[in-house]
Amino acid sequence: MRKILANLSKAGAGLMIAAVIISCGKEQTKNTPAAASTSDKAELIVYVNSDSLLNNYEYFKDVKNVFQEKSKKAQADLSAKSTAFQREVAQYNQSAASLSADQRQGTEQRLARKQQELAAYNQNAGNALANEEAIENEKLYNKVSEYLKGFAKTKGYKMVLTYSKANPTVLFADESLDVTKEVLAGLNDAYKKEKK
């Protein structure tokens, strides 16, 4: 379960945001005529710090909190089932000497089935969380992508790059080109309206 939650980490989501940001920039470049001079072109390229975006985007925080709760609940449920199974095994070990060979064999087969069921339950719970995570990642991708398309078109930007410490695609950019706060404010405003 913890691995599922870890998959929804900043690094993973940051890579996804980077792909969105770069793809938005490519779409804008295709749809808009080239600028006249080199300095004009440079002013039409901006970047977003995906680390800051993820740390402060309320939608991402909410999704992360939901997954943490689901993961904790699934982990607690699995732990309770595992503890009950271990108790059964311990009881069997204490009484095994007093059981007949047929009783021991029957009990061992039953315990083996329970162990397999417990493993299958764990796998199914992990798969269910992974599927939910994939759906939420798609929603996150769509929200950021749609917002950035409109944002870039409104501002006249030809390309929106991304920056992340975990996966740097931009090694240096002048801070005047950083539009993270503006993008974040717009995304959070849109999310607030959506929540109402």
Q: What's CA 178's distance to the chain center, in Å? A: 24
* Average pLDDT value for residue range 113-131: 94
Please give the DSSP secondary-structure letter assigned to residue 44.
Answer: T
Q: Does 16 have pLDDT greater than 70?
A: no
Dihedral sign for Cα atoms in the order 60, 66, 69, 72: negative
pLDDT one-digit tens code per residue, 30-76:
444 444 444 555 568 898 999 999 899 999 999 999 999 999 999 99
Q: Does 25 have pLDDT greater than 50?
A: no
Q: Does 97 have pLDDT greater than 60?
A: yes
* Average pLDDT value for residue range 89-108: 92
